[in-house]
Structure 1
Amino acid sequence: MGGQYKITGDRYPRMRPARRRGRLAVVAVACVTVLGVLGWGTLQLIDVFTGGDKANAAGAAADCPTTGTKASAAPAAVKLPKPAQVTVNVLNATTRTGLAQKTADELKKRGFRVGEVSNAPKEYDKKIKGAGVLLGPSASLKSSLAVLGTQLPGAERRTDAARKGAEVDLMIGDAFKGLAKPADADAALTALAAPQPTPTAKKKGC
């Protein structure tokens, strides 16, 4: 071009697009954010495969203790009278003769002290349908009546608060077929004196 706008020199101007600095800044921030998220996720995975499992296991154990496989502590031994310390009155409430004496002789062989051997009083005579009734004072329920009960498991146990003394009655009923076998009676007496521990129940939902 001529005139005052004449171009001189041997170089020509080159046209360049303007630098997009704003877009580069956005890209940089996005990259940093992505790297941060990836790093946090990696730490979480490491926690899961290492310490996280231990913490969860400890928490589960606290919420749901494994008590189903263990037994509770054994109850304290119960102090019971020995058969020789128990005086038994053997009374027949049936129509079968000689039954009271026969039963009394067997109890004596097993170490019990035998008191009166006779027919049952009128209030019980011919009125006991089961194997028998064991009767004693209130204090005898968990002591001498329990010991005598090992000899006749099917007998009903009753107490009389007005009754005095320590003697107990074995009143024979219509369903009586004999005392328990000596071995069974001894095993029941041993279990009564030293009860075994019972397994604890497992918590529901575990």
Structure 2
Amino acid sequence: MGGKYRITGNKYPKMRRPRRRGRLVGLTVVSVVVLGVGGWGTLQLIDVFTGGGRKASAAGDGDCGAATKASPSPSAKPLPEPRTITVNVLNATTRGGLAKKTADELKKRGFKIGDVGNATKQYDKKVKGTGLLLGPATALDTTLPVLGTQLPGAERRTEAARKGAAVDLVIGDGFKALATQQDAGRALTKLATPEPAPTTKKGC
């Protein structure tokens, strides 16, 4: 080659294209970042319009909670009124006069009074609690609970071979007095109107 610049020697420099590897790596990184940001933005938009998976789930749980409500309890036998219940008042303690005094109080509260006296040999001096309520099998969920409002804590027992609808109130050693008329009245009201059972919406 002539002119101002000459190449000397017997080796000639090889002409190569400038390396572009660094540029390609940079473009790749930028592309990944752009795609990542775009994907994140898309997810954010989906959350905005759908309310978000967790929030939707939480809202659903709240709906289930709100759907839980009380429903009337299954229909049961109507409870008898005190005036329809005949009570035999029997004293199983060594303290005299308890049977008559208790019978008089029950009569004031509307109960019908049957026999009044000492307990039979089967129970005499053998009832350690406040009292024992005895009745036929049919009285377990009807008459005995009503009578039980007058003497809380008394044991309830049924006799399969027992005839008639009358029930016994056997006074025990732990007896002090009947429940006050106000307390017995509240207990009777609660017994007649039990709290409804809660129900949960299906699918929750």
Normalised by the shorter chain, which TM-score bucket?
A: 0.7 to 0.9
> Which residue is 1:158 aligned to?
157
Change in CA separation of 1:130 and 1:17 when aligned onto 2, cut-off 3 Å: same
Instruction: Supply the distance in 2 between the matched residues of 1:101 and 1:188 (Cα, whole angstroms).
Output: 24
Q: Which runs of 5+ in 2 are unaligned?
A: 7-13, 200-204
For residues 22 and 126 of structure 2, the distance between their equivalents in structure 1, rounded to whole angstroms, comes to: 107
CA-CA distance at 1:126 after TM superposition: 1.4
Count of aligned pairs: 190
Change (3 A) 1:117 1:35: same
- Residues 137 and 162 in structure 1, CA contact (< 8 A), matched pair in contact too: yes
> Corresponding residue for 1:81?
80
| Correspondence for 1:196 | 195
Partner in structure 1 of residue 94 of structure 2: 95
2:124 is paired with a residue whose SS is coil
State the shift of 1:21 in Å: 5.6
Does residue 58 of the first structure (1) align with residue 56 of the second (2)?
A: yes
Taking the TM superposition and a 5 Å limit, the aligned residue runs for 1:12-51 are 18-20=17-19, 24-48=23-47, 50-51=48-49
**Structure 2: how far apart are the matches of 1:18 and 1:197?**
88
Partner of 1:204: none
Deviation, 1:20, is 4.2
Question: If the length of structure 2 is used for normalisation, what is the TM-score?
Answer: 0.77
Query: In structure 2, the residue corresponding to 1:178 is in which secondary structure?
Result: coil
Q: Contact 1:77/1:193 (CA < 8 Å) preserved in 2? A: no
Is the contact made by 2:46 and 2:52 (CA closer than 8 Å) also made in structure 1? no
Identity of paired residues, percent? 50
Q: Which residue of 1 aligns with 2:202?
A: none
- The letter for the 2-side match of 1:36 is L
- Give the superposed CA RMSD: 3.3
Aligned to 1:179, the other structure's residue is in SS state: coil
Using structure 1 for the length normalisation, give the TM-score.
0.76
Matches within 5 A, 1:178-197: 178-197=177-196
Q: Where in structure 2 are the equivalents of 1:94-133 lying within 5 Å?
A: 94-133=93-132
Q: Which moved more, 1:143-152 or 1:23-32?
A: 23-32
Is the partner of 1:180 in helix, strand or coil? coil
Post-superposition offset of 1:18: 2.6
Which whole-Å CA distance do the structure 2 matches of 1:170 and 1:61 have between them?
55
